[in-house]
Amino acid sequence: MSTLVIVESPTKARTIRNFLPSTYRVEASMGHVRDLPSSAEEIPEAVKGEKWAQLGVNVEADFEPLYVIPKDKKKIVKELKDALKDATELILATDEDREGESISWHLLQILKPKVPIKRMVFHEITREAIRDALTHCRDIDNRVVQAQETRRILDRLVGYTLSPLLWKKIAWGLSAGRVQSVAVRLLVCRERERRAFRQGSYWDLKATLTPPKPPAKGQAGAFEAKLVTVGNVKVANGSDFDENTGGIIAGRRVLLLNEEQARALLSRIQNKPWTVTNLEERPVTRKPSPPFTTSTLQQEANRKLRLGARETMRIAQSLYERGFITYMRTDSVHLSEQAITAARSCVQELYGSEYLSPQPRKYTTKSKGAQEAHEAIRPAGSTFRTPQQTGLDGIDFRLYDLIWKRTVASQMADARQTHVTLLTLVEDAGFRSSGKRIDFPGFLRAYVEGSDDPDAALEDQEVILPALKVGDKPNCKDLEAVGHETQPPARFTEASLVKMLESEGVGRPSTYASIIGTIVDRGYAKLITNALIPTFTAFAVTTLLETHFPDLVDTGFTSRMEQTLDEIATGEAKWLPYLDKFYRGETGLQTQVKEQESQIDAKVARTVVLENISAKVCIGKYGAYLEADREEGPVKASIPQDLTPADLDPEQVEFLLKQKTEGPEQLGLHPETGEPIFVLIGSYGPYVQLGEITETNKKPKRSSLPKGTDKDSVTLEMAVSLLTLPRLLGTHPDTGAKVQAALGMYGPYVVHDQGKVGKDYRSIKVPDDVLTITLDRALELLAQPKAVRGSSKTATPLKELGAHPESGEMLNVYDGRYGPYVKHGDINASLSKDESVENFTLQKALDLLAAKEAAGGGKSSKSKKSTKTTAAKSETAAKKTTTAKKTTAAKSETAAKKTTTTKKAATATKTKKETK
């Protein structure tokens, strides 16, 4: 008797095999095995002539979907069918969300098993969870399958109906999506706000005060005070400005100081006595955040670890499949009793009973549409492994650490703080000082939630004010006038976009990663320094959809669609009438597209209207370009790919058009060849060019400007130097191969070129310069080990401390993502925030490393690894001996299995894109 268990991924299959008896065979479906056709070649011959075949949904036959097995899944399906032949029972153990339920249903339709079938679900991959799930199997939930199918059909109807319209009216290859287009519109609306923003400026005063008496040891000394009133009138700050005018909001009674007034006030109150007029202390209690859901994990990983939504989900999926965390697609903040007990046990053991919340904290999900799994994302198991106990490293370790801390903190005591406001008066000028005293850190000992404000610190720090009372007269140590300029609304980051989509009820958290990925991949946005910046194409598509299909990009309309889909999953709504009304009704999508298509002028649709830009911005086959009428006729000029709508100004427009009509700007003549050197702007940004393009010189030498270099700052001398790149610095003393310095896509670098042997690259960082770097310095860089991608470590130490007294290994201080740290073997220990690198000694490093090792901060020792390796080798040798004794028939069977396994391994490199 044997049981076939089918999961989605090979990693999940490998982990689950460890927890099941030997009579169970676990195989992977590699995600969805069946879907709507993605291309014409996937459409079966029997229906190729049908009008609806390309759509993949027969709208005339109750929206019947046309499911096909993609070419790359046919082999997997055959293997699963072959495996089922030897099974006496089939267990479908795909994920417990809608996609997982759908995969199980599709497997059932394809495999058509004649053996008993069970549906097994679990939210963590541990021995206890798997064994428990085996005893609580159920049937496939057809209502959940229907909800997923409706969502899939709906998305196909929107995408395949609107996308061809965009191809005709704007550009080939564009796409529209039910949630994607709404997300793009959010980015565009924010960028429009930034373009419409008018900057305002204001001045105030900042003082550094000290207590009237020198503070005792350990007491606070100097503190800051900021001007807030003059003559009992509030001094204007950034919140008092109208973003549309750059002036003070109408009706606000505030005093707007300019530089002259601020400096005059400074002179008037300089050297005048200061008096404390009010002191207010306000106790504040802070509760910990609930455990992670999919969206909050994506947001926090983006803020703290700078991970994109897709990367976060990829790592979380891997952690789940290897048994480290619970299921990572969930809207729920609920924790099971088992998890609460495990978290409270961690608090008790690591922080003490005073840090434990008096009663277990139970969190409830507020979102009406919450579905998917029934528990928050947390460490797996009935006891939580600390991050150091997992054996994880790199980004896997850091994401697990984030999840572990958030879960444990959720069961910790409240943090108690006192917020202090101190008011001082000098003449008629009122100043305010704000302080914060942490009376009891509570959950802050373990975890501090990040912020969407890029200037906000991620840690909750105290700001201690001196012990002053009303009537005290502090001394003014320093007083300065400070100018400020209001800032436009911040662009969306992945974190803030996810937060906005969730708050508006658009899409589902499990889809946010793929939505953001699609927006970037299809050219609707660029991800630059963690900000999502919409492109000109995004502006054109959004304008067309807003004008002709406003409902489809309205957040409220899309949110109501999500609610209906949720109601279909619970049986509260019927899927067929809803689809029929949405697509074929009097105001349905099909009707709207037919009516609007003839009314959409393609030339207008391809044009982006931007304030203060006299030229037209058009979308062409090869990207955005400018078009303007001049005396000599229409002029067109390409817009550099890295130039965004928010950054395009009249000066840049004129330069690009002038370059097209009058030719490039000449810097001067090359001192050796006498050829002219030009500064131009191309599709990939500014560059210098030697000579003109002629019949005999079709490809003149060019060199891009270093990143951050403005075209107006380029001198003839700099241009000549840039045109020498790549520079031959000399030959490598060990190999005799050439060493060069050059500029590449990712910045300046040095390269050791050994021909067929290969090339060895190192980035050039400030203060080194690609134009002046020497061979000796290049050899130093090449001698350093390559930085591991995703690692925050740098190859060059900040300070060399000396040799470790036991191992003899050099101890150094390195610069990491979270500040300086010292490294010995596998142990990294961060320096405290008040510890300077300059004053850090070898003895301090030894003490710090010893404390970290005692706390379990290191990985397994080399001796342990050696023992494990030896044991593994012995086991392998024993297996080989046993295999050698098998019969020829058994060998043949083994060889066949190996061939299959090898092919599976190749397939296993694919990700489970279709599932989520």
DSSP secondary structure string, 99-137? HHHHHHHHHHHHH--SS-EEE---SS-SHHHHHHHHTT-
Nearest Cα residue to 382 out of 327, 342, 345, 335: 342
Phi-psi region of 749 (alpha: psi -120 to 50; beta: other; left: phi over 0): beta
Other Cβ atoms closer than 10 A to 595: 11
Pairing of strands 3-7, 759-763: unpaired
In contact, 227 and 498? CB cutoff 8 Å:
no
Pairing of strands 89-92, 117-119: parallel
Q: Which residues partner with 416 through β-bridges?
A: 285, 440
Question: 327, 625, 687, 749: which one is catalytic?
Answer: 327
Residues 783 and 793: their CA atoms lie apart, in Å, by 16
Nearest Cα residue to 741 out of 690, 781, 793: 781
814 is catalytic: no
Q: Residue 704, class by beta-carbon neighbours within 10 Å (0-12 exposed, 13-18 middle, 19+ buried)?
A: middle
In the chain, the amino acid numbered 809 is: E
In contact, 796 and 787? CB cutoff 8 Å:
no
- H or E segment and range at residue 498: helix 494-504
In contact, 131 and 19? CB cutoff 8 Å:
yes
CA torsion sign for 779, 783, 787, 792 is: negative
In contact, 376 and 300? CB cutoff 8 Å:
no
In contact, 406 and 289? CB cutoff 8 Å:
yes
In contact, 637 and 683? CB cutoff 8 Å:
no
The tokens describing 628, both together, are 């303007």
CA torsion sign for 585, 588, 594, 595 is: positive
HSE-CB of 544 using CA atoms within 13 angstroms? 32
In contact, 15 and 321? CB cutoff 8 Å:
yes
Using the 8-state DSSP alphabet, how is residue 39 labeled? S
- H or E segment and range at residue 520: helix 509-521
Using the 8-state DSSP alphabet, how is residue 383 labeled? S
Residue 889 makes CB contacts below 8 A (sequence gap 6+) with: none
Residues 389 and 407: their CA atoms lie apart, in Å, by 16
Helix 98-111 to helix 142-169 angle (10° resolution) is 100
Radius of gyration of the chain (CA): 33
In contact, 408 and 346? CB cutoff 8 Å:
yes
In contact, 491 and 190? CB cutoff 8 Å:
yes
In contact, 544 and 166? CB cutoff 8 Å:
yes
In contact, 93 and 7? CB cutoff 8 Å:
yes
Other Cβ atoms closer than 10 A to 770: 20
Residue 189 makes CB contacts below 8 A (sequence gap 6+) with: none
In the chain, the amino acid numbered 404 is: W
DSSP secondary structure string, 790-822? T----SS-SEEEEE-TTT-PEEEEEEETTEEEE
Q: Which residues partner with 620 through β-bridges?
A: 623
Distance of CA 835 to the CA centre of its chain: 31
In contact, 611 and 196? CB cutoff 8 Å:
yes
Residues 475 and 275: their CA atoms lie apart, in Å, by 9
Catalytically annotated residues: 327
